Structure 1
Amino acid sequence: MGELLPPSVDDAEYQRLIEAGRVLFAQEAKFFFGAQRLNQLEPATLPEVAFAGRSNVGKSSLINALTGRKMLARASSEPGRTKQLNFFNIGEKLVFVDMPGYGFAKASKDVKSDWQKMMFAFLRGRPTLLRVMLLLDARIELKQSDHNIMDLLDRAAVTFQIVLTKADQLSAAQLEKKKNEIFEVMKTHTAAYPFIRVTSSQKNIGIEDLRADLVRLIQD
C-alpha cells in the first residue's frame, strides 16, 4: 500500500509517462462548454475524464494545478449551488469534465435527488468517459455522501480512481493510516481502481504523477 507506481508500470516506462504528461499539459487548456441538463450535451469526440468530489474538496484547484492555469476552473462562491457540467479541452487530446460538488448540507432532498439522477444518467450514457477521478479530502473522514457516490459509480459501471487532496496537511503516519482506511472501503466497490493517488495542489504534490496516470489512461 502507498506505492507511487501504478500497477504494471516499471521505472523506465513511468519516466516516459511523466515526460508525456508534461508535454500534454503544456498544451493549451480551455473551457469550451457547460451543460446544466443532459439534453444540452454536445457529441463527444475526445476521451474524457471526469472529476467528482464533495463541495470544497479542491476540484477546481486540482484541475488548475494539472493544467498549470490559475483560473481555468473556478470554484463556486456558493458551494452546492452549481449544477453544471463543465468541459475543458486539454491539447485536443483529452477532455476534463468538472462535475458539480455533492454532499452540500444546505441542499434540499429534491436537489440532491436531481443531482444523483443527472449524474447517473451522464455516467452511464457517456461511452467516451474513461474514468472518474473521485476526490476525497485527506483530512476529513468519509461521509455518507462519499459512500453514496461510490455506490452510484458501481451501479453506472464506471471505473473510479481515488485522489486524496490537501495531503500536505497530514503527517506521513496520518496519511498512511488514511490510505489504509480508504483501501478497505475500495475493496467493497466493484468499480474502484485499485490505486490511490495522493496530491496537494498548494504544494504541487502528486501533480506530475497524476498527469502520468492520465496519459497512460488515454494511451491505453
Structure 2
Amino acid sequence: MKIVSTEFVIGAVRHEQLPEDGLPEIALAGRSNVGKSSLINRMIERKNLARTSSQPGKTQQLNFYRVNGSMYFVDFPGYGYAKVSKAQRAKWGRFIESYIRERKQLKLQLLIVDLRHPPTEDDRLMYDWLRHFGIPTCVVATKADKVPRTRRERHLRVVRETLGMTPDVPLVMFSSETGEGREELWNIVRQAIAG
C-alpha cells in the first residue's frame, strides 16, 4: 500500500465529535501496551503519528487517523491498565460499545494481541463480544520479532485455541519493528473496505 498522506484528525470522547465524512473506518482494540499505536505507525510508514508511550493507558479517547484521504484507522483506549476510575472506564466502555455496534463506517475491527503470551481474559471477552454482534474481525498478533521463528506456529495455535477462533477469522502475525505482516494486513483491510 502506497501511503501518500496521513493526518491525526480528532481524539473523540463523544458521538457528536465523530467524523461525518463517511469514510470507511478500521478500528483497533487491545490491551494497553500491546502495540496498537506502533502498528498504526508501521502501517502508514510514519514514525510518530500515533503516539506511543511506555506508560500504559495513555490513549483515553478514540483517535482518528485519516490515511490517503480515503479511510481512517481508529485507535481505542487500551483495556487492562489505564489508571482511571471505574466510572471513567465504564463511560469509555459504553462509548466504544455503541461505536462498534452502531457505526456504519466501521468496516473491520482489529483485535490486537501479543504473540508472546496467550490472549488474556479481556481479549477473550472482546473477541466473543465482537463475534456475538457479527462485527467483521481480524486478530493481529504483534511483537512477532520477539518470538523465535521455530516457535511462532505454536504461538499462533495458542492464540486461535484460546480465543476459540473459527477458520474464517483471519489471524495475522505482525511486527512493528520489521514490518512483517504489513502487506498481508493491508490486503485484509482493502478487502474489508471494498466488501
Same fold per superposition (TM over 0.5): yes
Q: For 1:125-153, what per-residue CA distance to the aligned partner results, in whole angstroms no more than 9, with x for missing partners?
A: 10110011111011122211111212332
Q: For 1:6-47, what per-residue CA distance to the aligned partner results, in whole angstroms no more than 9, with x for missing partners?
A: xxxxxxxxxxxxxxx2x3xx2101111221122322324111
Gaps of 5+ in 2: none
Are positions 1:94 and 2:94 aligned together?
no
Could you state the TM-score of these two structures normalised by the residue count of structure 1? Answer: 0.80
- Report the residue type matching 1:138 in the other structure: L
Are positions 1:36 and 2:33 aligned together?
no
Cα contact 1:83–1:100 (8 A) shared by 2: yes
Name the counterpart of 1:200.
175
Could you state the TM-score of these two structures normalised by the residue count of structure 2? Answer: 0.89
Name the counterpart of 2:47.
70
- Superposed, 1:166-181 pairs within 5 Å as 166-181=143-158
Cα contact 1:123–1:156 (8 A) shared by 2: no
Q: For 1:135-175, what per-residue CA distance to the aligned partner results, in whole angstroms no more than 9, with x for missing partners?
A: 10111222111112123323443121100100111123321
Provide the C-alpha distance between the structure 1 equivalents of 2:72 and 2:56, rounded to a whole number of angstroms: 23
Cα contact 1:63–1:73 (8 A) shared by 2: yes
Q: Tell me which of 57, 74, 97 is aligned to 1:80.
A: 57
Are positions 1:134 and 2:81 aligned together?
no
Provide the C-alpha distance between the structure 2 equivalents of 1:54 and 1:86, rounded to a whole number of angstroms: 16
Q: For 1:56-97, what per-residue CA distance to the aligned partner results, in whole angstroms no more than 9, with x for missing partners?
A: 011111101110110110024642253210111111221111
Cα contact 2:108–2:189 (8 A) shared by 1: no
Q: 1:81 to 1:202 in 2, by over 3 A?
A: closer
| Secondary structure of the structure 1 residue equivalent to 2:169 | strand
| Secondary structure of the structure 2 residue equivalent to 1:164 | strand
Calculate the aligned-residue CA RMSD, in Å: 2.1
How many residues align? The count is: 195
Q: Tell me which of 6, 10, 26 is aligned to 1:49.
A: 26
Q: Report % sequence identity.
A: 36
